[in-house]
Structures are given as structure tokens and as C-alpha cells.
Structure 1
Amino acid sequence: MPNRDSVRWFREQFSEVIAPEIQGTPFDVDMLTAVAYQETGYIWSALCLKGLPTGRILELCVGDTLDEDRGRRAFPRTYEELIASPDGPQLFAVARRALEEVAEHVPDYLPASKKPHKFVHGFGIFQYDLQFCRTDKNFFLSRLYMDFGECLKRVLKELRLAMERIGWGGRTALGDYDFACVAIAYNTGSYKPERGLKQGSSSGGRYYGEAIYDYLRLIRSFDQPIVAARPPGRALVREPTPVTAAGPRFRVDTTSGTLRLRSGPQRDPADLTANVIGDLPDGHEVRAVTGVPVDGFLEVETSLRGAFLRGFAAMAFLEPVQDGQPLPAPAPVIDLPRADLPRKPGQVTRRADKAGALSLNEPDQPGRTGDTPADLCRSLIRIVAWLAVDDSKHLRYQPADGSTYCNIYAHDYCHLAGVYLPRVWWTQKALMALAQGMAVSPRYADTVDEQRANDLFRWLRDFGPQFGWRQTGTLTKLQTEVNQGAVGLIVARRKEDGKSGHIVAVVPETESHQAIRNAGGEVTSALQSQAGDRNFRLGTGTPDWFKGERFAESAFWIHS
């Protein structure tokens, strides 16, 4: 993965060259840094730290010795095909010399350099492929790949062509995820939105699109000092999207219940939840986008516990807020301790035990480890596999006597992933004592109670942010953060409080299991893992299950 020193070197060496070339394009320096790192970062990030001159490093940024027998389909597929082409011997001489030179500094190329007919196919810091020798022969024969400016012109041209191929030629701005999609088309020639970022060449368990997105997010984070304190086993979670609407301010006025925020200015009487994208609590403030009503609805933006929401709210439940009128004073935040039941010495809580109030502490249980998105995601999938929620021997999760245990499974997943989702939480009496600064010990049914799905919905709403949780606004954002190694949840509260709500873990996509996306690339069903009426390790469940009429409200939560 990129480190601060190598990224600093790239910026110092090339930012002034890049800046004038990207004016009027949707690209920026960090985007090009990510592509350069994906293509040749393993070379220049090491050599720059050894103090080699920049010109020499650029000369050594070559690679890819795979031929037809290892899957190459573009010209030249073999030594014979290259030699037989116009100027083939001269091109081979350049490509062969480049291989021998890089092998002196990068040991991985030594085996190929000892085979007389081997040569490199990728040239320059962005890896301009030898297939272009048919239309751009001088770049190779004159070794222009040693000139960063020449490499930059070609990568920008190829990126613009990639945008055109996927129908984005007219776009003037790209988000980081969007750029990763463009990079996929740059790498493979096409991009399929319904497949997300698992596209392009694959290395180390990450596809080209995933790697570009990983690198770009990490590179941008180097400008944020707080990232340096991120502990091992935690993901780099994107900051919440800010509200940018500048229209009039309004406050939700429902007296009881929540106000549904909808994706369009209408509601379907046959399915009242069909276009619901959020539930706004009474008293919550929103900002109008234009202030112009549409069929009794107003388009608004707001941030709800970190979740950016933009949609249409019924004007009948919005009251104007005068500019300059202060927001209601927030309730004082009490620094609350975790609530964990003590266990007897030597007591072990196992998956094979029936459901109980203690957390798992089996000797071989896995955790979330690593400091790259790939490692974090692999460890989360290992947790899912180890919990084996669908294994009938794991009585802790099996439905019985009308009871289901989504709450316990969600707790166990979070517990092993190193984030706090309570199995028990303080009673009202205990919270009052803690607020007064009194010491309180966790005692079952006295100072703590078990937390069921409805309770967890309220706990996340009321206390989750104190323990590192924040909401996010869409399934796409939720799945994207989880694919970076974050912990994700979907939780829904039942209308009838005595009835069971539901909570599921959203887990990283794998080679064999992916979220469902529409033709525009938006996630319509996240990849989930759950206990409940039906236990499954990995699946997409019923689409929009959390919008069911039995649920009063729902939310998506993420934790680093």
C-alpha cells in the first residue's frame, strides 16, 4: 500500500507537471498518483527511498513479462509475433534492455531476465502497453517512457477515452468511486456498473477497480493527521457527506412518529414505503434545496447522525425556521462506560451453548486483523465463516420456541470485529446513577438488561456515536465502506414494541457472493449475514426488507 513518503515523493516530483495538463478535466493529482501506484508503485516507491535520481527511476518503471501462455491476448502475444512485426527487432531490443535493467533493481524480474526471449510489455510510470507500438512506435523506440510528461499525456488520453467508452464523456467532475470505475475501463476497455469494483486485472485478492479505490482513499487520507492514530484492525472510513443546500431552513413537526423522506415528490397509496429513503425524527432540522414546493413536497438535504440524506418531505410536516434562530441546545453528553457482564473464572461461552447474555470467549475465535482493505475484508469473512450461523450445532443462533437471535449474532460479529455493540446495556436506573457520577457495577436484571433488536435500534440512535458508530444514507455507501473493511449494520425497529425487530451484519463482497446492483451501479441489496427465521452466512436477503410495513423505522450504521 502507498505510504506517506512515497506519495510525498510523487507529489514533489510531478505535481507541477500534472497541474497544467489536468486543467479542464475531472482528474486530479491524487487520482493520477493512485494509477501510478497501481501500475508501478512497487518499483518507484522502493527506489525513491533508496535515493535514486528521478530520471533513473522513470527509466526503470517497466514491467509485465507475461506472454500468451500466461493469458496475454493483445499484440504482441509472443516473442515470435513481435519479431515478425515492422521494426520488431528494434522494439524487442528496447523491451529486452528494459527488462535486464529493471531486473538489476527488482529481484522479481530476475527469472524472466534469464530467458533470452523474454521482454517487458508495459512502459513508463503509468504502464503504456507495447500494443500501442503500431500507432505510437516512436514512444518505444526513442524511449520516451523515461519522460514523465510524455507518459502523462498518454495516460490522460486513455482515461478520457475510457470515460467516453462508458458514456461519461461529458462529465466535468468525478468522485473517487467514479474514478475507480473509469480506471476499470482504462484497464480492461469496459465497465459493468452492476458488478461494482470487482473488475479488471486481479492481484493479491483485489481487482483493479478495488485497488485504485483503496489507494486513492488512502492517498487522500495522508492530508488528515488523525489517520496516523488509526489502530490496527480498523478501517479507514470516509467522512460524512456535508449538507450543501442553501435554501430556507425547516424543522420537522410531526408531534408523534417520524417524517418519511422520499426519493420523489409522491407516495404510492398501494405501497407507502416504496420510495422511502429515510425517517426524520420530530424536531430534526433540514435545509431546502430550492424552496419551491412540488405537489405538496419540498426537496431537502439534511445530515442524520452522520448520514447525508437528500429527498422530498411532505410540507405539511415542516415548519419554517428563521435564519439566525439558534438550533435547540443538544442534550449534555455523558461519557458512559461499556456494559459487559462479568463471568466466573474459567467460564467459557461457546457457539454451541444456548443463547445467553455473555459474549463469546472461545480460545480459537478469530478477530479483525490487518491494515489494508483486503486484509480487513478477509478477516471479516473469516469471522463469518467461524461463527457459522447456519450450523445446527451452534445452538446460540438457532431459532427455538418462536424466538430468533439476530441480536446475538450481530453482537458476536461486532464483538469479534473489535467494535462495541452491547449484549446488555444499562437500565434507566443505572444510567441515572452514572449521570450523577456514581460507580455502577453490571448486574443482570438490576443494572443491565439484555438488548434485543428494537433495543439495539434505540441504542445505536442514542449512544452509538459515543462508541464510534455513525449512520450512512444509502446501501451503496454502506456496502462501499464495508468493502473497505468497516463493520456495517442494517437495523429496523418494529411498530409493535413487543414484537421482534431485526438487525443484520453487512459484510464484504467476495468472489462468490456480491451485493445486487442496478444498471446504474447503485446497490439495491447489500451482502448480508444474519440469524433470524432463516440463518445464512452470506446472502442478499429480501430486497428492502427493512421497509416492510411491520417496521416503524430503519437505519444503516457503520463503524471503522
Structure 2
Amino acid sequence: MPNAADMQWFKDQFQSAAEPSLTGTPLTIDLITALACQETGEVWPILRKKGLPVADILRLCVGDTIDASGGRGAFPKTKADLLREPQGQAIFTLAHDALVEMAQHIPAYAQVARKPDKFCHGFGMFQRDLQFFKNDPDYFLDRNYAQFASTLGQCIDELKRALKKLGFDTRTSLSDLQLAAVGIAYNTGRFIPSKGLKQGFFDGSRFYGELLFDFIQLAHTVAPQAQTPALPPAADGAALLPLASPVTAQGPMFRVLTQDGMLRLRKAPEVSDPPQANVIAHLPVGHPVRAITGKRVKGFLEVETSLSGGLLRGFASAKFLEPEAHDTAVPVIDAEAAPPSTGIVAVYMPRKSGVTKRTGPANAHSLNEPRQPGRSGTTPAQLCDELAAIIAWLAVDDPAHQRYQPHSGLTFCNIYAHDYCHLAGVYLPRVWWTGKALTLLAQGKPVEPLYGDTIAEVRANDLFRWLRDFGIPFGWRQTGTLTKLQQAANQGGIGIIVARRKEDGKSGHIVMVVPETQEQTARRGADGEVTAPLQSQAGASNFQYGRGRANWWNGEEFAESAFWIHA
């Protein structure tokens, strides 16, 4: 599979040549790089490491094979189909010889190339298919596919058709998910929003759309020499997640000014029944927002803002918004790359000896069983597989795992969330410093963790506050939509939904949002937006995978809720 070094080579060789073709479109060089990786990534990375000239590499970018028995729907289904066409023998000879020459360098193709009836049907770095031979024979017979400008031109033309089909042709920019949708249409001829990225060719593990999105993300981490990449590379065992989104609204600035409590940001310009049902977020007093237009709708203003790194867009009651005297940008806070090593640092329940097991009763210690799984992968597929292994190993629904089983009115969503994060190498506290200890730590003084004195157990309500107050320094940030939350999990990252109860003595709730599998998926609407992410939880009911009660975090029992992600 192509890596960042391969993408670096591709951009060094071709970015300057490709950029003029992208002008006036929402297509990006990172999409083009990702398509090259997806279409012929099993060929050119090997060839470039062998030191072949660029011209030879381009000529040898062929693949996908057909033989006399066929086995596909498009022309040519078989060798006989091809031979019946004018110049059919010439193109068959070219397509077979191209396979043989390429296989001299790519061992995976050596066996198939020895079969005399086998021939390629994908030509060029972006794999224009032989089905177009009837209408454009010269592209193949004259080996135009071996010229970068020519193969790119065919790719751009097909991408433009996909843009138009998806209604994106008038856009000036697209999100990475939208670019991946364009790529899926490039591959299959269509895109079904409700299926998300699970579309296109399936390699037995991941779909074309999923792999293409992975490549788009990875392409953000490399740039031609003397240029700065859009994203820093991810550390081993961590997901590559996008940076916090900026506020792009251009309307007037306001600040939240409520008489008591926080301001509800709503999906629609109306108070829902019950009032919490259409709430997106709660904005604190003094928080800056920027209006979309500044025009009131039923007493509401549509606004955009950033809260703990999460881009939020919704409707706020205009009577609780005060015009800002100075027109400044809404600040966007992103997660810290590394947790603090001095001052207010991570803390765990001290352990004198012994092993904390899933089969034991709930307590304040973190798990330390022998051979417990972890997360160390370097690709989204590896990270997702490791998170799936963590879920299976924790087996929250196994009655033998007493640590998570509800009893006597007690539930343990907080402990399950801690254990999942702990195994994944992410800090979510099981115990945290008391107020006294935090004061001393902030002064730079040493503090010994003493249960009941300087540390105390944290529950779901406490975790809501901890994420708000300390999440950013420990690598957490909010995200504004369920779609972004699910996609972060699908990249092998850590996702959380947490809700704080109105009555502080009663339990809040926290669930993990986990990577989708072939069997277990999130629910998406007809527009492709996630309406119910894939969740894993302990609580009144324990399940490894599920969608939970619809919008449970907006229940009237909760004062506020938030979506959080961590690499």
C-alpha cells in the first residue's frame, strides 16, 4: 500500500503539472494523489523505488486483467469481445504485452502474465478502462496513457462528470468526505449518500471509498519541497484526524449575554417540544459567535462558532446576543499534540500490587491484565482492527465481566469508557485531582496521589466537566456533527458522546463511538449525514455495538451534552 514517502514522490514529480488542470474546480491535488494511490498504488510505488525513469513508470501503470472466460459486465467481457472489434487484435496484443512487461517488475502479476489469454483493461496512472476503446481507440493504441498530461486529462474529465452528477460542479471547495464521494462516483458511476464511504470495489476488508478517504487524509501530510503540509503526520498508534475547522461565516459578530445559564444553540429557529430536543450545543456567557447573514428568523439568528475546537452552526435567540464592538475572528482551539508533563498532569489510582481484571468488581484502578490488547497501528485499517479487538476483549456484555455489570441501581459507563480509552493509549481519567491538589499543581508544587484527599473517582458528570476543562491539553477536542464524530472513529480515532445530568446526584452518561464494521454500521439519512453513530457502552444495558436510543443525549434529563474526539 502506498505510504507518505510514495505520495511525496508523486507530488514532487507531478503537482506543478497537475495544478493548472484543477483551476476553477473544487478538485484538489490531494484527491488526485489519492486517486493515483488507489488506482495504481500497487505498481508505481514499487517502480519508483527501483529507480526507473518517470516515462517508464507511466508506461507501466497498467493493471486489472481479463482472460478468455471474461467475468465482468462492461466491454470487453472476454478476449473474443475485444477481437471482434476493428483493430481488436492490435489492442489485445498491446494489452497482453503491457501486462507481461509490467509483471517483470511487479511480482504479484508474474503468474497471471504467463497466461497467453490474459490482458489488462486498466491503462494509465488513473486506470482508464478498456471499455472506452470503442469510442477512443487512439488513446490506447497510441499509448497516450503513458503521458501524464493525457492520463490526468481523462481523469479530470471523468471527475468533472462526477461533480455534475453529485451537484458539486458549482462549488468552489469540497470537504474531504465530499471529495471521496466524487471519487466513488469516478469509480462506480454513482454515489449513494446513505451508504457513506462503504461503496465501490471491496477488497475483502475495506471499500474503495474508505480507502480513498484514507489516502486523501494521508496526502494532507505531505507537500512538495519548500512547501508546508496541511497536516502533521500521526504518531504510531494514533489516528490521523483533520485540524479543527475554522469559522467561515461573514456576518456581524456577537457575544452571548444571558441572564442565567448558558445559551442553547438549536438546529432550527424555534423552541422545540421538549425544549432540549433540537439543541446542538450550550454556549457559555461571553462566548463569541458570528452571524451567517445577521437577518432574524422568528427571533433567532443563524450563527456559526467554535467551541473547544468543534465547529457549530445553528440558531440562537437574538435577545441573548450582544453586538461585538470589535470585528475579530472567532478563536479556534485545537487539541494539544502531547499531554502535559509538568503542572496538572495525568493521574491514576496508586497500586501497591495485584491485577485489576474485567471479572473483578468495579473499582478505581485501571486494568492491568496480562496480554491485554492495545493500539499501535499506522494505518486506519490497522487502528480500526485494534479498536475492534479491544471491544471484543472487554466484552462489556459478558456477564462474567462483573466490572461493567449494572447492579443495585449502579451503572458503569464511566469505567467502560476509561478502560476503552486506556487500552487505546488515550487518557480519560478514572480518578482525578481534587480542587486542593489542582491548586497546588498549578503552583508547581508536587502532589502525591492519595485517594479521598488529593484524588477522587470520576463519574460521567465529572467526565463531562473534565473534558470541558482539561480535555484540550490531553489531546481531546469537540466536533460539531455526528458525521464528523463517526468519521473520526472510522479513521481509528477515539470518539465520545457525553451528557451531564440536570440533577447532579444522578448519573450522566458516556458512550464510545466506535469504528463501523461490515456487519455493524451507523445510521445515515438520505443526505448521507449520520443520524445515529455506532456506539459501544456500559450502562443500564451493556452492548459491544449498537445505535442506542435515538438522540439520547438530548433527553430532558440532561443539562448539556457534547461530542469529543481524540487521535
Give the TM-score normalised by structure 1.
Answer: 0.95
Matched, 1:231 2:238: no
Residue by residue, what CA displacement relative to the aligned partner does 1:9-33 show, whole Å, maximum 9, x if unpaired?
3223323332332222221222111
Match of 1:291 in 2: 294
Q: Distance in 2 between matches of 1:179 and 1:381?
A: 27
Q: Which segment is superposed worse, 78-87 or 173-182?
A: 78-87
Superposed CA RMSD: 2.1
Q: Measured at CA, do residues 451 and 537 of structure 1 come closer, stay the same or move farther in structure 2, by a change above 3 Å?
A: same
Tell me if the contact between 2:496 and 2:564 (Cα under 8 Å) persists in the aligned partners.
yes
5+ residue gaps, structure 2: 334-339
In the TM superposition, residue 91 of structure 1 has moved relative to its aligned partner by 1.4
SS at match of 1:120: strand
Deviations along 1:286-345, one digit per CA (max 9) or x if unpaired, are 1222222222111211110000111111112122221179999x9xx9831111111123
Match of 1:450 in 2: 457
Segment of structure 1 superposing worse, 496-505 or 444-453: 444-453
Partner of 1:539: 546
Decide whether aligned partners of structure 1 residues 461 and 70 sit closer, same or farther in structure 2, where only a CA change above 3 A counts.
farther
User: Offset of 1:204 from its aligned partner?
Assistant: 5.9
| Distance of 1:243 and 1:326 partners within structure 2 | 8
Residue 337 of structure 2 corresponds to none
Q: Cα deviations across residues 489-515 of structure 1 (Å, max 9, x unaligned)?
A: 000000000010000000001101111
- Is the 2:514–2:535 contact (alpha carbons within 8 Å) kept by the matching residues of 1? yes
Using the TM superposition, give the Cα deviation of residue 228 of structure 1 relative to its aligned residue in structure 2, in angstroms: 5.7
The equivalent residue for 2:25 is 25
1:264 offset after TM fit, Å? 2.1
Contact preservation (8 Å) 1:2, 1:219? no
Q: Which moved more, 1:70-79 or 1:255-264?
A: 70-79
Aligned residues: 555
For residues 208 and 329 of structure 2, what CA distance do their matches in structure 1 show?
A: 48
Residue 81 of structure 1, CA deviation: 2.7
How much does 1:226 deviate? 9.5
Which moves more between the two structures, 197-206 or 161-170? 161-170
1:356 deviates by: 0.6
Give 1:207's aligned amino acid. Answer: F
Offset at residue 364 of structure 1 (A): 1.9
Tell me what 1:258 maps to: 262
Task: Point out 4+ residue stretches in structure 1 off by more than 4 angstroms.
Answer: 66-71, 223-229, 324-328
Structure 1 residue 460 corresponds to structure 2 residue 467: yes
Instruction: Choose which of 222, 226, 245 in structure 2 pairs with 1:241.
Output: 245
Partner of 1:145 in structure 2?
145
CA pair 326-175 structure 1, distance change in 2 beyond 3 A? closer
Q: Which residue of 2 aligns with 1:312?
A: 315
Task: Please tell me the residue identity of whatever aligns with 2:352.
Answer: K
1:252 shift after superposition:
1.4
CA contact (8 A) 2:67 2:117 kept: no
Identity within the alignment, %? 56
Which amino acid is the alignment partner of residue 396 of structure 1?
R
Residue matched to 1:281: 284
The answer for the alignment partner of 2:336 in structure 1 is: none
Shift in CA distance, 214/71, structure 1 to aligned 2, threshold 3 Å: farther
Match runs of 1:299-448 below 5 Å: 299-323=302-326, 335-345=343-353, 347-448=354-455
**What secondary structure sits across from 2:41 in the alignment?**
helix
Gaps of 5+ in 1: none
User: Is the contact between residue 6 and residue 45 of structure 2 (CA under 8 Å) also seen in structure 1?
Assistant: yes
- Matching of residues 61-210 of structure 1 within 5 Å: 61-66=61-66, 71-203=71-203, 205-210=205-210
Take 2:351 and 2:71, find their aligned partners in 1: how far apart are those partners? 57
SS at match of 1:538: strand
> Comparing 431-440 with 550-559, which one deviates more in the overlay?
431-440
Q: Is the 8 A contact 2:47 2:57 kept in 1?
A: yes
Among 447, 472, 496, the residue aligned to 2:479: 472
Aligned partners of 1:169, 1:229: CA distance in 2, in Å? 31
8 Å CA contact retained: 1:163, 1:169 = yes
Matches of 1:512 and 1:417, distance apart in 2: 22
Matched letter for residue 125 of structure 1: M
Task: Report the CA distance shift for 1:113/1:417 in structure 2 as closer, same or farther (over 3 A).
Answer: same
Q: What TM-score do the two structures reach when normalised by structure 2?
A: 0.94
Cα 1:459–1:13 change in 2 (3 A) is same
Match of 1:490 among 493, 497, 513: 497
For 2:558, the equivalent position in structure 1 comes to: 551
Pick closer, same or farther for the CA change 1:434–1:69 going to 2, 3 Å: farther
Match of 1:530 in 2: 537
